[in-house]
Amino acid sequence: MKARYTISALSLTALQVFTATPLHAQNAYLTGSGFPRYIKAGQDQPVVVRVRNASSPAYFSFAVKWRLNGGAIQSMSPFTVGGNGIINNSYWEVDHPVPLNAAQGPKTLKVWVEVTGDTDHSNDTLTYAFTALNTWVEKSVLLEARTESWCPNCPSSNNVTNLLDDDPMNAIAKFHLNDALDDCAECITYFQQYDQGFTPAGIFEMGDLGTSVLSANHSLWAGEFTQRRAGVSPVELDMTTGLNSATRQLSVSLTATYTYSISGTHKMNVYLVEDHVPGPQVNAPANYLHQGVMRAMLGGANGSSGLIPNAPVVGTPYTASYTYTVPDNFNLSNLRLIGVAEHSTGAANGRHTLNTLTSTAAGVGIRDLSLGNNSLKAYPNPFVNELYVDVKDRTGPARLELVAVDGRVMLERNLVLNGTTATHLDLNGTDLVPGAYLLRITTDQSMAEQRVVKLD
């Protein structure tokens, strides 16, 4: 198998620069874009690392090796670097010629670099813990981004995240802190646990590759998605939603089914985000619209725990159910939901996302069905400033609207029907002008209408 080596634009630039520094032993070390936490068992997985230099002088030859679970060492032929060699702050990206192929189960991968003359071996080795899966599902990648209206880089970072959000296998949630859109208290509590001091900032997968280190380099976020999409997931998610536009009540059920049992604390959450939100943005064009604005975390800042055992049973569905009344200032037609399954070791930085699922807040349960003949009765009709509404044999929440002949909704009220007693409406102090109106009652299952007339 032929070795493959690639070099970035940064490497090309750095390798052409020589900075005079005191001579001492070479200090080779490795950094990695990360090895997936879950991979497909029995299939080749590339091992990719970056060979770097922590000091000077430069070195011109190296070899990268790896071993799985203390087994056989997988070597490569020593590679010779031309030009000025690998100097401080430059790197050479290595796609090891021997890919990894593992049977199902938890594994430990060690990757290291060898350079003649390197006397500091404390930074030579990277260690990755991962699990190979015989049965797996596709992975959807989550980015939790912090943004603020005054942020000098937020327009360009928002452009990056908006483009990434076009991919259905990506999930973007934007947490607004310290601006006019920061009205989600649990969202602020959640994001502040990372104690970041800059914006924009982004957390990928809540530390999927081992940490929750925040990144401000929004120009690199697309590459971060690519790295994480190389893995798979041991959790399949399914989400059903219902949104009653009359009562503005949202209901969500998120179900997690495991293909592999992972010991530990398991949590679920559902993020409510809104698109096309007008709002301030100091450095953006006029009429700027925000996308993916975090509006609520239905499971709270810490998610819903206790629903999934510490050792989930493979194939058993576990469901978290939520209800939420959507505030009047949220546009119902622009809402989306992100279901999140996570694994936790307890600390903020010990959480990582297992999988996510994005869905619309589907408007269900509001069908254009009559409540039945004579089931709705509004009296007196005509009326002046008082109106009684009686809906026979119906109980529970409902929405009342008075609609003008031109289609404008002139009055809206939330009602609770009890099936026996008429609901009294006191219309004193309203702006209703005399004339004909359509009185509409909407429940979570049906709708009824009646023509009424207001007198002066």
**Is the same domain home to 328 and 391?**
no
Q: Is residue 275 domain-resident?
A: yes
In sequence order, the 6+-apart residues with CB closer than 8 A to the CB of 160 are 218, 219, 221, 222
**Is the same domain home to 159 and 114?**
no
H helix intervals, 216-324: 221-229
Of 303, 329, 360, the residue that ends a domain is 360
In sequence order, the 6+-apart residues with CB closer than 8 A to the CB of 189 are 301
**Is the same domain home to 291 and 356?**
yes
Q: How far is CA 394 from CA 373, 376, 415, 449, in A?
A: 13, 10, 12, 15
Q: Which residue has the tokens 């090895």?
A: 35
Q: Is residue 371 domain-resident?
A: no
Q: What was the pLDDT predicted at 374?
A: 52
Starting at the edge strand found earlier in the chain, the sheet holding 235-244 runs: 235-244, 249-258, 317-325
CA gap 344, 298 in Å, rounded: 18
- In the predicted model, residues of the chain with pLDDT beneath 70 are 1-25, 33, 207-213, 346-349, 362-375, 393, 406, 444-446
User: In terms of residue numbers, what domain contains 382?
Assistant: 376-454
**Is the same domain home to 149 and 124?**
no
CA gap 130, 167 in Å, rounded: 26
Q: Is residue 365 domain-resident?
A: no
Of 93, 112, 133, the residue that ends a domain is 133
**Is the same domain home to 198 and 175?**
yes
Q: What was the pLDDT predicted at 25?
A: 59
**Is the same domain home to 102 and 184?**
no
CA gap 154, 103 in Å, rounded: 44
Q: Is residue 426 domain-resident?
A: yes
**Is the same domain home to 195 and 268?**
yes
Q: Is residue 318 domain-resident?
A: yes
Q: Is residue 79 domain-resident?
A: yes
Is the full-model pTM beyond 0.75? no
Q: Which residue has the tokens 């979570």?
A: 444
Domain count, the chain: 3
**Is the same domain home to 39 and 117?**
yes
Of 360, 393, 422, the residue that ends a domain is 360
Q: Is residue 370 domain-resident?
A: no
**Is the same domain home to 189 and 275?**
yes
Q: Please, are residues 169 and 232 in contact by the beta-carbon 8 Å criterion? A: no
In sequence order, the 6+-apart residues with CB closer than 8 A to the CB of 159 are none
Beta bridge partners of 424: 388
**Is the same domain home to 174 and 125?**
no
**Is the same domain home to 111 and 227?**
no
Q: What was the pLDDT predicted at 442?
A: 81
CATH, residue 172:
2.60.40.10
**Is the same domain home to 353 and 417?**
no
Q: Is residue 366 domain-resident?
A: no
CA gap 35, 49 in Å, rounded: 9
Q: What was the pLDDT predicted at 35?
A: 86
Torsion, Cα 67 96 213 182, to 10 degrees, reads: -130
